[in-house]
Structure 1
Amino acid sequence: MRELYPAIEPLVTHSIPVEAPHILHAEECGRLKGIPVVFLHGGPGAGCTPAHRRFFDPDRYRIILIDQRGAGRSTPHAHLEGNTTQHLIADLERVRVHLNIERWLVFGGSWGSTLALAYAATHPERVLGLILRGIFLCRDEDVSWFYQRGADRLFPDYWADYLAPIPEDERDDLVAAYHRRLTGSDELARMQAAKAWSTWEGRTATLLTDPATVDFFADPHHALSIARIENHYFMHGAFLREQPLLEQVDRLAGIEGEIIHGRYDVVCPVDQAFSLAAAWPNAKLTVVEDAGHAASELGITDALIRATDRFAERLTGHQNGRG
């Protein structure tokens, strides 16, 4: 089993203003003349962590991590205005141009896979390849499975805690009920809702509940951005209803991809990965038989690192920059 590469520190950090008041935090690690790869975190709203640098060989990759609007170290924290999928796609282009990168490998998991697909469909000429984990097509049915009806039957005990902030007469539309609290003026109710929403995800993200994962999602700072931004996106169909991802896959013709998905993924059931693979002939699907959703699970980590190593072999000699 492959394990994460050794811990590394950023070589360069950037604060990149986009539309006011948003300022993006980005960092570069590894080898500045290496193969450029951009890491797209999940949520939306989860932000990047030091572990995310470690899916890539630092001797071969120029590793770029970006905290999306309102997430991680980007500011303002958990801010919803001017925060849509289309804004995030434009932000990726701003960062690419700012860093003087012609084309880059795009790596994303969960919501990061959603954004990676939307970005690649919009700017296929800028994509060297795609490595995607825990596919989230972000259709209404995918959101409903996890936040309204479906996953509750597998985790009724955890579901009870997710339901707790919402009165019974509002439970016919839980995303909308949470939205009222997460965007309301009652700070106590907002934080209670954020922790319940985010902890539900943390408890179910791994095949066997992992205390470290739960602690990350339950942390108040992370919980607020994860819950507010996820809920904001899901209230609006991830701003993709007019262009569902599967209807855009033809734009990926010529782009090679690796799709990695846990067989027992409850957050994003594996049928989404099969649907994407069926529509995208250039993609290789790997189903990890003893895993759930999280990139930290051993089998998924192994598959992801093997994928980044394979792409490094394919792309060796790629010239970074514009010349």
Structure 2
Amino acid sequence: MQTLYPEIKPYARHELPVGDGHVLYVDESGSRDGLPVVFIHGGPGAGCDASSRRFFDPALYRIVTFDQRGCGRSTPHASLENNTTRHLIEDMQCIREHLGIDKWVLFGGSWGSTLALAYAQAHPERVQALILRGIFLCRPEEFHWFYQEGASRLFPDYWHDYLAPIPQEERSNLMRAYYSRLTGSDQIAQMHAAKAWSCWEGRTATLRPNSQVVERLSEPMRALSIARIECHYFVNSAFLEPNQLLRDMAKIAHLPGIIVHGRYDVICPLENAWALHQAWPNSELQIIRDAGHSVAEPGITDALVRATGEIASRLFGLSPADA
């Protein structure tokens, strides 16, 4: 079983203005001359941390991590202004150009897989390969399953707490009800809603209970950005056209990809990954039999670390012995 690479520190950090008042936090680590890879975090709203750069052999990869608009160390925090999928795609282009990268590998999980696919379809000439985990295609049925009815039947106890901030008369459209609180002026109601939204996600993210995952997602500042930005995107269908990501797979059919998905993923059911794989003949689907959604699942971590090694080998014949 592969584990994460040892902790490393960035060799460069950037605060990159991208317009509309947004400034992105970006860092680089690993080898300055290595294979460029960008870590695209989930949520939207979660941000990166020190573990984000540890999926890649630092002797082989030039590792770029960044916090998307409103997330993590990017500013302004939890901002919804000028924050759409199109903006995030343009931000990635700004980062790539600022760092002088011609092409890069995209590595993304959950919402990170969504943004990776959207970016690749918009700029296929800038992508070498994709490594995706916990596929999220942002179709209406996926939002309904997790935020209205479906996953609720598997976790009725956790669902009870998710429902708590919303009065009975507003529960026919829970995302809209949450959105009104998360964007309202009552800060107490806002934080109560943010914690309930984020705890629901954290509690259902792993096959076995993992208090560290729940605690990370429910930390107040992170919970606020996750809940506000996720809800903002989801009530707007992630600012994507209906079935856009599957519809446009022909644009990136030539690109190699590895898809890693937990069989018992409740947040993003396995059918999402299966549908993507069927539309992408050049992809390899790895179903992790004893895992849920979280990147912290041992089987998921193992598969992703192996995938980064496989992609480096497949693209350039690189291996640790060559470094």
Q: TM-score, normalised by structure 2?
A: 0.97
Q: State how far apart, in whole Å, the 2-side matches of 1:71 and 1:292 are.
A: 24
Q: Does 1:173 align with 2:136?
A: no
Q: How much does 1:316 deviate?
A: 3.0
What residue in structure 1 maps to residue 131 of structure 2?
Answer: 131
Q: Does 1:39 align with 2:39?
A: yes
What residue in structure 1 maps to residue 64 of structure 2?
Answer: 64
Q: State how far apart, in whole Å, the 1-side matches of 2:123 and 2:134 are.
A: 22
**1:35–1:315 CA contact under 8 A, matched in 2:** no
Q: How much does 1:97 deviate?
A: 0.3
Q: How much does 1:317 deviate?
A: 7.1
Q: State how far apart, in whole Å, the 2-side matches of 1:317 and 1:150 are.
A: 44
What residue in structure 2 maps to residue 152 of structure 1?
Answer: 152
**2:139–2:242 CA contact under 8 A, matched in 1:** no
What residue in structure 2 maps to residue 321 of structure 1?
Answer: none
Q: How much does 1:19 deviate?
A: 1.6
The change in CA–CA distance for 1:56 and 1:82 in structure 2 (over 3 A counts) is same
The change in CA–CA distance for 1:104 and 1:43 in structure 2 (over 3 A counts) is same
Mean Cα deviation higher: 238-247 or 11-20? 238-247
What residue in structure 2 maps to residue 76 of structure 1?
Answer: 76
How many residues align structurally?
A: 318
Structure 2 alignment gaps of length 5 or more: 319-323
What residue in structure 2 maps to residue 85 of structure 1?
Answer: 85
Q: State how far apart, in whole Å, the 1-side matches of 2:240 and 2:164 are.
A: 30
Q: State how far apart, in whole Å, the 1-side matches of 2:12 and 2:249 are.
A: 34
What residue in structure 2 maps to residue 241 of structure 1?
Answer: 241
Aligned AA for 1:245? L
Q: State how far apart, in whole Å, the 1-side matches of 2:20 and 2:248 are.
A: 30
Q: State how far apart, in whole Å, the 1-side matches of 2:241 and 2:193 are.
A: 26
Percent identical: 60
**2:147–2:174 CA contact under 8 A, matched in 1:** yes
Q: How much does 1:243 deviate?
A: 6.1
Q: State how far apart, in whole Å, the 1-side matches of 2:197 and 2:283 are.
A: 33
What residue in structure 2 maps to residue 193 of structure 1?
Answer: 193
Aligned AA for 1:303? A
Q: Alpha-carbon deviations, 1:189-248, whole Å to 9, x = none?
A: 000000000010000000011000000011001000000000000010000125611001
Q: State how far apart, in whole Å, the 2-side matches of 1:316 and 1:221 are.
A: 41
Q: Alpha-carbon deviations, 1:172-195, whole Å to 9, x = none?
A: 000000000000000000000000
Q: Alpha-carbon deviations, 1:15-70, whole Å to 9, x = none?
A: 00012210000000101110000000000000001111100000000000010000
Q: TM-score, normalised by structure 1?
A: 0.97
Aligned AA for 2:147? Y
SS at match of 1:216: helix
What residue in structure 2 maps to residue 292 of structure 1?
Answer: 292
What residue in structure 1 maps to residue 321 of structure 2?
Answer: none
Q: How much does 1:109 deviate?
A: 0.1
**1:260–1:287 CA contact under 8 A, matched in 2:** yes
**2:139–2:243 CA contact under 8 A, matched in 1:** no
Q: State how far apart, in whole Å, the 2-side matches of 1:10 and 1:236 are.
A: 35
Cα RMSD for the two superposed structures: 1.0
Q: State how far apart, in whole Å, the 2-side matches of 1:313 and 1:89 are.
A: 27
What residue in structure 1 maps to residue 112 of structure 2?
Answer: 112
Q: How much does 1:312 deviate?
A: 1.3
Aligned AA for 1:230? E
Q: Alpha-carbon deviations, 1:270-314, whole Å to 9, x = none?
A: 000000000000000000000000111100000001100011112
Aligned AA for 2:59? D
The change in CA–CA distance for 1:280 and 1:9 in structure 2 (over 3 A counts) is same
Q: How much does 1:140 deviate?
A: 1.1
**1:206–1:294 CA contact under 8 A, matched in 2:** yes
Q: State how far apart, in whole Å, the 2-side matches of 1:253 and 1:299 are.
A: 27
Q: Alpha-carbon deviations, 1:112-146, whole Å to 9, x = none?
A: 00000000000000000000000000111101100
What residue in structure 1 maps to residue 312 of structure 2?
Answer: 312
Q: Hey, which bits of structure 1, 4+ residues long, moved more than 4 A?
A: none
Q: State how far apart, in whole Å, the 2-side matches of 1:317 and 1:253 are.
A: 22
Aligned AA for 2:48? C
SS at match of 1:241: coil
Q: State how far apart, in whole Å, the 2-side matches of 1:280 and 1:87 are.
A: 26
Q: State how far apart, in whole Å, the 2-side matches of 1:234 and 1:19 are.
A: 23
Q: State how far apart, in whole Å, the 1-side matches of 2:44 and 2:207 are.
A: 21
Aligned AA for 2:165? P
Q: State how far apart, in whole Å, the 2-side matches of 1:263 and 1:243 are.
A: 23
**1:135–1:261 CA contact under 8 A, matched in 2:** yes
Q: State how far apart, in whole Å, the 1-side matches of 2:147 and 2:315 are.
A: 40
